[in-house]
Amino acid sequence: MHTMKNKLLAEFFGTFWLTFGGCGSAVLAAKFITSEGATPVNLGIGLAGVALAFGLTVLTMAYAIGHISGCHLNPAVSFGLFVGGRFKGAELPGYVLAQVCGGIAGAAVLYVIASGHPGFSTAGGFAANGYGEHSPGGYSLAAGLVAEVVLTFFFLLIILGATDSRAPQGFAPIAIGLGLTLIHLIGIPVTNLSVNPARSTGPAVFVGGWALHQLWLFWVAPLLGAALAGIVYPLMAGKPQKTD
């Protein structure tokens, strides 16, 4: 039986990995222009690569720490599981604090690495989430709100369904990782995609200004979407039947 300390450490390092790996792919590898030859070529991984990176962080950590803490890595996930009756309310504050600290620590290490490149500036966004003029595609506040609520809702439905005792066992990390990849493929142009307040808080701390002013959306919308999923999934799936 793992202690609360074990669980919080797991959540800290897991969220560190999600923020560093996912945001790191966006900051360091999404666009990489080679200067070799007469014509510069972009060898970066692009939006699809960034989406896959986020999914891989969750997939790998789910197998690494899922047996320790459940591998939430996200205040919205913890909250949605609590609403759905899968998580103890007494553990919720500790999980959220560990996740936010992990997100900030991951962003801090990324900042140290990224600032080693000549001309680096957080003015480029540093993978922070935003709407309006700070949306990658120029999407409005309303569009960002709807996208974050809906995509978090479906992400939590995937988590609740894949981890249901009636679902095929051992495959939940794959479904959850691919689910996170899919919603990033949809949502990156809208808000850089959050669905995770801890992931949003980390880069926002270093960007400051507009990123901190808009951070409220990336707490409110994911928590709302997660809560809705926590309510809807039990209504849809019902309670597991008891067997003798």
Determine the Cα–Cα distance for residues 85 and 90; give it in Å rounded to an integer.
12
Over residues 5-10, mean pLDDT: 97
**Rounded to whole angstroms, how far apart are CA atoms 93 and 128?**
24
Domain of 211: which CATH number?
1.20.1080.10
For residue 37, name the pLDDT band (cuts at 50, 70, 90): low
Report the percent of the chain where pLDDT is more than 90.
Answer: 84
Backbone angles phi and psi of 42, in degrees to 5: -85, 110
Q: What is the pLDDT of residues 56-73, one digit of tens each?
A: 999 999 999 999 999 999
Residue 68 lies in a domain: yes
Residue 41 β-bridge partners: 34
Residue 228 lies in a domain: yes
Question: SS in 3 state form for the chain?
Answer: CCCHHHHHHHHHHHHHHHHHHHHHHHHHHCCCEECCCCCCEECCCHHHHHHHHHHHHHHHHHHHHHHHHCCCCCHHHHHHHHHCCCCCHHHHHHHHHHHHHHHHHHHHHHHHHHCCCCCCCHHHCCCCCCCHHHCCCCCCHHHHHHHHHHHHHHHHHHHHHHCCCCCCCCCHHHHHHHHHHHHHHHHHHHHCCCCCHHHHHHHHHHHCCHHHHCCCHHHHHHHHHHHHHHHHHHHHHCCCCCCC
Contact criterion met (CB below 8 Å) for 84 and 229? yes
User: Which residues span the domain enclosing 139?
Assistant: 4-116+124-237
Let me know if residue 243 belongs to a domain.
no
Q: What is the pLDDT of residue 242?
A: 46
Task: State residue 123's pLDDT score.
Answer: 85
Q: 123-165 pLDDT, tens per residue?
A: 878 999 999 999 999 999 999 999 999 999 999 999 999 999 8
**Structural domain contains residue 161:** yes
Quote the pLDDT of residue 80. Answer: 97
**Closest C-alpha among 71, 214, 226 to residue 129:** 214
Task: Give me 51's structure tokens.
Answer: 């989406």
Q: pTM value?
A: 0.94
Within-domain flag for 242: no
pLDDT given at position 240: 63
Residue at 168 is within a domain: yes
Q: Please count the structural domains in the chain.
A: 1
Q: Is residue 222 one of the residues assigned to a domain?
A: yes
* Residue 35 or residue 18, greater confidence: 18
* Confidence band of 192 (pLDDT split at 50, 70, 90): very high
Structure-token match 């997100």, residue found: 103
Rounded mean pLDDT, 25-49: 85
CB 150, CB 179: distance < 8 Å: no
Least confident of 83-87, 117-121, 136-140: 117-121
In a domain, 103, yes or no: yes
Q: Which residues pair with 77 in a beta bridge?
A: none
Q: What is the pLDDT of residue 109?
A: 98
